[in-house]
A and B are shown apart, each in its own frame.
Chain A
Amino acid sequence: MAMKEIVVGTAISKAAGRKKGSLRIGTLPDGSPMEIPVVIVRGSKPGPVLWLHGCVHGNEYCGTFIIHEMLSRLRPAALTGTVVALPALNITAFQKGQRMSPFEGFAGGDLNRNFPGDATGTLTQQMAYAIYKPLKRHATHLVDFHTAMTEDVAWALYADVGGKTGKESEKMARAFGYRSTLPAPPTILGGSALMTAAKDGIPAMIVECGGKGPAFTQEAMRDGADRLENILRALGMVKGAVVDHGKLNYFSNFAWVHATKGGLFQRSVRCGDRIEPGSVLGQYYDLHGRPNGEALAPKGGIVLAIHPGPMIGSGETLIHIGLDPREV
C-alpha cells in the first residue's frame, strides 16, 4: 500500500528513506526566496510523525546541533514512523546571530509568539504561517529546541493542556528527562509553537539546552540527542528500553526577573541551583571596579537561567526562576 505523502516545501516523502529540501517562508528585498532547510527521515513502517525544529530564535544554535546529531543516528530501516526536522527556522536571524529577524521592524518580531501566523501579515507572521501549515497537517508530536544564556542551561517545558494531548506531552518530557521541567499551563506562552500545536491536539514540548550563540558544549549537545532518542523509544519509533530518568522537579510556573541597574556583573549561582527569596545571585560592579550592590532573588525556586555577565544593562534578564519545585 502506498504511503501517505508528506510534503514540507520541496522535501517530498512518499516512501521509506531520507529526503531533503527547503521551505519558503518569505521573500528577501532582492526577490530571492527566504528558505529554510527541511529533512524528512521516513521509516519502513507507519507510525508517529515527530516534528523537530530549532532556531525559532535565530541565535539558539544548540538545538540545531542536537537535531543534526539525531538525524545522523536515524536509519530508515529501523524506524517506525517519520521524523520531520527543520533545524533553523528563523533563517535571517540565524544568519545574523540574533533572536529576531533583522528585517522585522514594525511589529513584535518574536517568531515564537506569532504562531499560527498570518499569510498576509508581517514578515514574522508570514513566516509562522508558512511553517505552521505543514506542521499542523503532518505532525503528531512536536519538540521545539531553545537555549537561554549560559552553557549550563538544561530544562524543559511540556504543554500541560489536559486530556490525551497533555498526557502524551508529559510522556515526551519524562522521556527527555531534564530534572527541571515545567508543565506549562495553557494560559502562558500564547503564540508559541508549543501552545498552538497543543491546542490543535498535537502533543508538544520545548527543550532549553545550552546558551545562546556558541555557549554550549559538545557534551550537552550529545546528551540532548541521547534524551531525544529516548523520546523516539517512548513513542515506539525506535527499538530499545526506555530510560527512566526518575523523579523530576515540576514547577507551578516561572518568573522572569530583570536587572534594574547597569554595570559589570558576576554571577554566583548556576542553573539548577535552589535559591530562596533574598539569595545572592551575583555582584554588580561599576566600571571603576567598585562594588555596586548585590543582585538578590525576589523569589525562591530553581535557577533556570542566569545572566552570564560580564556586563549588564537595566532591563536585561537577570534570572529566570522555576517556581514551587516539587518532585514528581
Chain B
Amino acid sequence: MAKALSFKVGTARARPGAWTTGTLTLGEYPDAPITTPVNILCGARPGPVLWVQSAIHGAECGGALGLLRLFKDLDPKRMKGAIVGVMAANPTAFRLLARNTPYDGENMNRLFEKPSRTAHSRQAAATLIDTAMSVADAVMDMHSGGLDTEVPFYAIYWEDGSPASKRAAELARATGVDAIWRSTDSWLAGAMYTAVTKRGKPAIIVENGSGAELTDRVVDLNRDAIAGVARALGITPGRARPARRILAVGTCDLLYNRRGGFFLPAVEVGTVVRKGQMIGRVMDSHGRIVEELASPKRSYIAALVREHRAIHSGTMCAECCEILRD
C-alpha cells in the first residue's frame, strides 16, 4: 500500500530520505509523561510502513538493538515506505527490566483483545495499537526470554485463515527463523499480534534469546529478521531469500513446577522432545533432586527457564509446542 511520505508517530515525524526521532506518550507519571523513544527511517519514495516494537515485556529489548543495527546499515534513499521503531513499548517495565508493568502488575501483551481506557497498562496498550493501526501496514513485535528464560529463534503468527493471517505467515517465513508457531491458543487472544491480525493487518512476533545475555549473534538475527520482513514488504530492495526448511508448531502447553529450588534444564531450547522426555529438574537447597518435569507430548521447546535460576512453585518452567509439520 503506497503511503504519504509524511506521517507522525507521537512527536516523531517521517521525512523522506531521513532518519527522524521523537517520542510517543503512553501515559503519565505523577510528574511527567510516560514516553517511548521512536525512530522512523523513511524512504525517498512512498510505500508500505512496517511497525517494529520492542520491550513490551521490559527486559526483552534485543529487538530495539537489532533495529538500530539495521537502520545504520540501510540507505533510506533506496527505500520505498518506512520502518517505524518503537523502542520501549512498555516504558515503565523497560526502565526496571521487568516483564510486567510495575504500576499495576499487568502483562501488557495480554490486554489488546478489548483495549480500554481503564488501568495504566490498558491505556498504554490502547494508545499503542491505535497508533500502529493508523500508520502501519504490518507489525513486528520483538520478544525474547527476558531475564528469567531462554527462547529459540522463532516466529509466531495468529492462524485464522484470514488474508491478514496468511500474509503474516509469509512475513514470518521472511524472518529466517527455524520454526513458526501457528498460534490459535486462547491465552494469546489478548496479545497485540493477535489483535492486529483480527483488525485486518498482518502481525508477527519474533522470539530470540534472552534479555539476560544479549549476544551479538542475537542482535544480528533480530536485524536480519526485520530486514527480511522489510524486503518481503518491498520497503527495501532485493528479493526475498528462498524459503528454508521450517518447523511448523502449534498449541503450546505451559509447564509449571510444584517444588521450589534451582532449575536444571535437561534439554536445549529449540529442540524437539518426545512425549514423557524429561526436560528439566528442580534441585533443592540441600542438593536433592525434588522434581522432574516431563514434556506432556512430542513437542518443540519454545521456552525454558535459565539454568540455575532459583524458582518458586508455580514458575512457568517451559513452553512445549506440538509439532505440526517438519
Contact = CB atoms under 8 A, between A and B. Distances in A.
A312 B29 CA distance: 8
A123 B314 contact: yes
Interface residues of B, number: 40
Contacts of A316: 103, 119-120
Contact of A122 (B104, B120, B314): B314
A119 B256 CA distance: 10
Contacts of A123: 312-315
Contacts of A314: 27-28, 34, 120, 123
A292 to B, nearest CB: 10
Interface stretch (A62-70, A98-106, A177-185, A275-283): A98-106
B258 A27 contact: yes
Interface in A1-48: 26-32, 34
Contacts of B259: 27, 31
Interface in B83-117: 99-100, 103-105, 107, 110, 117
Contacts of B99: 105-106
Given A31-B286, A287-B31, A313 B314 contact: no
Interface string B196-240: 000000000000000000000000000000000000000000000
A166 to B, nearest CB: 29
Given A34-B312, A126-B314, A313 B29 contact: yes
B118 A315 contact: yes
A105 B123 CA distance: 21
Interface stretch (A78-86, A186-194, A259-267): A259-267
A106 B123 contact: no
A32 B285 CA distance: 9
Contacts of A28: 260, 312
Contacts of B31: 262-263, 286-287, 311
Interface string A95-123: 00001100111111110000000011111
B165 interface: no
Contact of A126 (B100, B107, B258): B258
Contacts of B105: 99-100, 104, 109-110
Interface in B23-58: 27-32, 34
A286 B31 CA distance: 7
Nearest to A316: B120
B135 interface: no
Could you say which of A104, A264, A315 has the most chain B C-beta atoms within 10 Å of its C-beta?
A315
A308 to B, nearest CB: 13
Interface of A: 26-32, 34, 99-100, 103-110, 119-127, 256, 258, 260-264, 286-287, 311-317
13 contacts: A27-B259, A31-B286, A34-B313, A104-B314, A106-B99, A106-B107, A107-B107, A126-B258, A258-B120, A262-B32, A314-B28, A315-B118, A315-B122
